[in-house]
Amino acid sequence: DVKVTQSSRYLVKRTGEKVFLECVQDMDHENMFWYRQDPGLGLRLIYFSYDVKMKEKGDIPEGYSVSREKKERFSLILESASTNQTSMYLCASRGGGSTGELFFGEGSRLTVL
Q: By the criterion CB under 8 A, which residues form the site for other proteins?
A: 4, 9, 31, 33, 35, 40-45, 48, 50, 56, 58, 90, 92, 94, 99-107, 109
Instruction: Kindly tell me which of 84 and 100 has the beta carbon lying closer to other proteins.
Output: 100
Q: CB of residue 16 vs other proteins: minimum separation in angstroms?
A: 28
Q: CB of residue 81 vs other proteins: minimum separation in angstroms?
A: 22
Please, are residues 67 and 78 in contact by the beta-carbon 8 Å criterion?
Answer: no
Please, are residues 4 and 92 in contact by the beta-carbon 8 Å criterion?
Answer: yes
Distance CA 58, CA 28 (A): 22
Q: CB of residue 31 vs other proteins: minimum separation in angstroms?
A: 5
Distance CA 66, CA 90 (A): 14
